[in-house]
């Protein structure tokens, strides 16, 4: 690692300078207090989603690669420490301590691309409490957003029933990083390509694209645009046919396709982006077929999500592929998850909060996934970390991926993560794969975890909830 | 600009390598076709929102600073060109052309922090068509997200009726860039501080924070945590009182506040993050007041947005300040805008698309804002670029900010943008400032623009929509 790179958290094509300050101030004020109190004990924080949102019968875990890169490079630059000093609220001894602080802990995590459910830890971080606390906001940010997006994309891919889904949403994602991660997450979840060229360079995701309305309007006549595009890209031409009148344009596309045939070429597809897609796709299919162009595919885009894809296919629209953008890439119906990073154990003591509606489960955990007779997953058990398997053949989801602040093995490739995700989704109960009114997946807590929770809860209630007497 | 920086688009603490590839592939395929056809004419693209979403009676324009930085540094690195070559679909002559391509155009734009409405251009870019086309995705990404966020934050600030709003959402924003821009946009819109420390360093936004539940649970007893925090931060202590039992904890906070008083210190505030906030805030206020601690403020967080803030205040909750996070920073009720970047003129010809439900207005434009007798804005006129003012005193919103690819003057400071935004919101009609059931703002199209649109539309319909005859 050269001296320049030391100040940066590298995330694909993005570099974040002074990454240790990509955090909430309270992490630093709490760390300062731990330092002042001499609290150096080991803490375990658990990252999980409190409840599944409506229409999300499962989540796809993602974001771990960024977390591990961040933790491995974690440090405070001189500039960062100087800035904290300028705030006039931290002791010089604490600031000195930050200068040499590195992340020295352990990470146990569910692999990216794995389906998970409410209360199941995506990861647990065990480290001296200052370190584990200081990384909270970044760890949450990376895993929350990517899990949100991979989950939404998986639903769109399921809705398309085997037809290709292409990620198209760069322009309306929430910023630069979101634009990149949307391509990565959609690819993990089974999208076949992305419009994002930089994602092609950085992640190896095949880039694809057609033409915009601006291209058509830049030419004197629509057919001129079609001809120019077909001659520039005889192998990849997809003509956008809704700029003026979709049916009229379909006839022009036929004309251009026939001209291409005379040169031994084939028009790849036409794209519909507006109007009544079911009706228009049928009429366009008929126009193409009547012209002997059954090989020309129909590509649809425009405000798509899993609900609309499902509806189009239910109604029999002859669509061959979908370009899915904004609604998938902002997870429009569920734009955030109730994901939290909570202390579950400190210095040998299992801890919990009992805030109304936000109670947490004490203790370090493991998640066991069990299969039914049909080979599909049939239920999970959330257990204490060191409990034995609840039944023969149950698979533990959390694996140790970092020790002493160093990753234990190279992160799997994107292709491997994608394959894992596809396989795992196929192994979920079928009723979880419906776009609407999906079933729910059985998750239970082990007896040992339940017993620990009851006892810790009773202790906390006795100690903290009873009305206190007047100040001494 | 050093050679290293030349390959990067610098955006605050983020660096994006090979930024010219932060685009959709179709921009490049269209550019390749323009190049092949010798289409080098000047094109004007207009960036606007097609319609206001529900509960967004106005939008706050933002993102221009990133756009101008991006355009000024726009170029294809050797690595980028080599990657495009590897795709085997671009001519070598086109790739050679990209190597020396820079953005040489003009940008006319509405200043950041300005309220805008449907169909009003946030900016217009005029440049040789290849250049103006290639920057589409990045320009949209920067302006779409920041406008979305500044608008949502402005609504939260309005709902708080003068009480401070603090931006708290870093952890659940959509990635790294979103986390930074959420702080920037909230500050533009009137939030007073942010929890994001890096936004403090990079943008000068005052950072703030309290403590997390993990801090409380790390101590053997809640009151130990309160005492430790108060002794570490005697000037800034805000105690989080909902970890176990809010009322019991309020009494403990009183005890700690009294201990602080004996040392000549004052507890700043308590924070509520869960439960029935209206009821709890009243009870906590009473507990504090009965103890003579009327100076201790009540800070509320937890799932806030403009609707909940408004509801709490309507119901009389004695809240002094709000920490607003996830729902503001993902604009949860409206997580995207229908923003588009459309060609309106090419090579002297005004153009439009007439796709169903997505028709655009032809021609380069200006937006004029008129004031009523009360000094407040009373309506806008969208006109052709070179029309005279529709009435004396009307203010043109779009100004030329870049010519020949160079910015004309330094971008305003964040403080200036924030002040502009606050002033402009105060000048909007009062009925637009309601959180629910707001009024709408009158926007009309000039006669000249309407006449142009009608004539171009008729021409396009005649040329493109009538059924074509069989292929020749």
- Same domain for A323 and A185, yes or no, is yes
Write out chain B residues lying below 8 Å of A357, CB-based.
274-275
Residue A372 corresponds to which tokens in the numbers above?
């039914």
Same domain for A194 and A340, yes or no, is no
Q: How many domains does chain A have?
A: 2
Q: Does residue A159 sit within a domain?
A: no
**pLDDT at B230 exceeding the cut of 90:** yes
Q: Which of A24, A168, A247 sits opposite B196 (nearest CB)?
A: A24
How does pLDDT run across B283-305, given as a tens digit for each residue? Answer: 999 999 999 999 999 999 999 99
Q: Is A334 on the interface with B (CB under 8 A)?
A: no
CA B286 remoteness from chain centre: 39
**Does A310 fall in a domain?**
yes
Burial class (CB in 10 A: 0-12, 13-18, 19+), B454: exposed
Same domain, A14 and A133: yes
The closest CB to that of A211, out of B13, B30, B242, belongs to B30
My answer on whether B354 and B291 are in the same domain is: no
Write the CB contacts of A265 (distance below 8 Å, at least 6 apart in sequence).
Answer: A230, A234, A235
> In the listed set B277, B300, B323, which residue is the last one of a domain according to the structure?
B300
Query: Do both A347 and A214 map to the same domain?
Result: no
Residue B469 predicted with pLDDT over 70: no
Q: Which of residues 54-73 of A touch B (CB under 8 A)?
A: none
Helix (H, G, I), strand (E, B) or coil at B437: coil
A340 and A302 co-located in one domain = no
Scan residues 198-217 of A and list those with Cβ closer than 8 Å to B: 198, 200-201, 207-217
Contact: A28, B209; criterion CB under 8 Å:
yes
Is residue A341 domain-shared with residue A321, that is, in the same domain?
A: no
Q: Which of A329, A347, A376 is the last residue of a domain?
A: A329
| pLDDT band at B11; cut points 50, 70, 90 | low
Are B27 and B101 in a shared domain? Answer: yes
pLDDT at A15: 86
Q: Is residue B327 part of a domain?
A: no
Residues B338 and B296 reside in one and the same domain: no
- B232 and A207: CB-CB below 8 Å? no
- β A193-194/A339-346 pair status: unpaired
Say yes or no: B17 contacts chain A, CB-CB below 8 A: yes
Domain harbouring A408, CATH code: 3.20.140.10
* B336 touching chain A per CB within 8 A: yes
Cβ pair B26:A210 closer than 8 A: yes
Nearest to residue A183, comparing CAs of A171, A239, B148? A171
* Cα of B264 to nearest chain A Cα, Å: 18
> Is A367 an interface residue toward B (CB < 8 Å)?
no
Res A3: pLDDT: 40
Residue B57 lies in a domain: yes
Q: Is A470 inside any structural domain?
A: no
User: Residue B471: pLDDT above 60?
Assistant: no
Mean pLDDT of B379-407: 97
Taking the Cβ of residue B89 and every Cβ of chain A, the question of whether any pair is shorter than 8 Å is answered with yes
Residue B161 counted as domain residue:
no
What CATH number corresponds to the domain at position B251? 3.20.20.70
End position of a domain, from candidates A268, A297, A329 = A329
Which is nearest to A126 in space by CA: A437, A422, A385, A442? A385
Predicted confidence (pLDDT) per residue in B319-369, tens digit: 999 999 999 999 999 999 999 999 999 999 999 999 888 889 999 999 999
Q: Does residue A472 lie within any of the structural domains? A: no
Domain co-membership, B14 together with B125? yes
> Are residues A16 and A95 located together in one domain of the fold?
yes
Tell me the residue range of the domain where B263 lies. 210-300
Long-range contact set of residues A196-200: C-beta below 8 Å, sequence gap at least 24: A196/A167, A196/A170, A196/B22, A196/B23, A196/B24, A196/B25, A197/B21, A197/B22, A197/B23, A197/B24, A197/B25, A197/B28, A197/B83, A197/B84, A198/A13, A198/B18, A198/B19, A198/B21, A198/B22, A198/B23, A200/B21, A200/B25, A200/B83, A200/B87
Q: What is the pTM of this model?
A: 0.96
Residue B32 inside a domain? The answer is yes
Q: pLDDT in tens for each of the 472 residues of chain A?
A: 334 445 567 667 888 889 999 999 999 999 999 999 999 999 999 999 999 999 999 999 999 999 999 999 999 999 999 999 999 999 999 999 999 999 999 999 999 999 999 999 999 999 999 999 999 999 999 999 999 999 999 999 999 999 999 999 999 999 999 999 999 999 999 999 999 999 999 999 999 998 999 999 999 999 999 999 999 999 889 999 999 999 999 999 999 999 999 999 999 999 999 999 999 999 999 999 999 999 999 999 999 999 999 999 999 999 999 999 999 999 999 999 999 999 999 999 999 999 888 889 999 999 999 999 999 999 999 999 999 999 999 999 999 999 999 999 999 999 999 999 999 999 999 999 999 999 999 999 999 999 999 999 999 999 998 654 333 3
For residue A35, give the chain B residue with the closest CA: B232
Cross-chain Cβ contact A214/B39 below 8 Å: no
In terms of domains, do B257 and B377 share one?
no
What separation in angstroms does the CA of A7 have from each of A24, A76, A77, A410, B36?
19, 8, 6, 22, 44
Q: How far apart are CA B472 and CA B465, in angstroms?
A: 18
Contact B26 A332 (CB under 8 A): no
């Amino acid at each position: 690692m050269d001296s320049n790179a030391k100040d940066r958290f590298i995330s694909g094509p993005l570099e974040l300078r002074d990454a240790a300050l990509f955090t909430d101030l309270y992490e630093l004020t709490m760390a300062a207090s731990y330092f002042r109190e001499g609290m150096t004990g080991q803490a375990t924080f658990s990252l999980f989603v409190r409840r599944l949102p409506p229409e999300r019968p499962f989540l796809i875990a993602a974001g771990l690669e960024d977390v591990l890169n961040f933790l491995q490079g974690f440090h405070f630059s001189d500039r960062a420490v100087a800035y904290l000093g300028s705030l006039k609220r931290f002791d010089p001894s604490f600031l000195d301590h930050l200068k040499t602080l590195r992340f020295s802990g352990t990470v146990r995590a569910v692999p990216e691309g794995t389906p998970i459910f409410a209360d199941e830890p995506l990861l647990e971080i065990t480290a001296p409490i200052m370190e584990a606390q200081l990384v909270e906001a970044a760890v949450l940010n990376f895993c929350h957003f990517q899990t949100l997006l991979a989950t939404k994309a998986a639903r769109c891919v399921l809705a398309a029933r085997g037809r290709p889904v292409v990620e198209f949403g760069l322009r309306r994602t929430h910023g630069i990083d979101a634009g990149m991660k949307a391509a990565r997450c959609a690819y993990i979840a089974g999208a076949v390509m992305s419009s994002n060229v930089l994602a092609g360079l950085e992640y190896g995701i095949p880039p694809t694209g057609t033409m915009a309305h601006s291209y058509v309007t830049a030419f004197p006549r629509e057919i001129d645009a079609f001809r120019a595009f077909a001659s520039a890209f005889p192998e990849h031409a997809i003509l956008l046919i809704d700029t003026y009148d979709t049916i009229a344009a379909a006839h022009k596309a036929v004309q251009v396709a026939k001209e291409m045939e005379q040169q031994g070429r084939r028009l790849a597809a036409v794209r519909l982006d507006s109007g009544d897609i079911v009706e228009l796709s049928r009429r366009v299919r008929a126009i193409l077929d009547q012209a002997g162009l059954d090989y020309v595919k129909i590509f649809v885009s425009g405000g798509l999500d899993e609900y609309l894809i499902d509806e189009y296919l239910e109604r029999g629209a002859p669509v061959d592929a979908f370009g899915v953008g904004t609604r998938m890439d902002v997870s429009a119906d569920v734009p955030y998850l109730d994901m939290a990073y909570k202390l579950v154990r400190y210095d040998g003591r299992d801890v919990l909060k009992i805030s109304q509606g936000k109670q947490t489960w004490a203790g370090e955990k493991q998640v066991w996934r069990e299969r039914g007779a049909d080979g599909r997953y049939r239920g999970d058990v959330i257990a204490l970390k060191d409990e034995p398997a609840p039944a023969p053949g149950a698979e533990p989801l959390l694996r140790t991926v970092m020790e002493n602040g160093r990753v234990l093995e190279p992160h799997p490739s994107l292709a491997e993560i994608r394959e894992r995700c596809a396989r795992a989704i196929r192994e979920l109960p079928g009723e979880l794969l419906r776009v609407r009114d999906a079933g729910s997946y059985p998750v239970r807590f082990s007896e040992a975890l339940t017993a620990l929770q009851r006892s810790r809860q009773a202790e906390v209630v006795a100690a903290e909830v009873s009305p206190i007497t007047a100040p001494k």
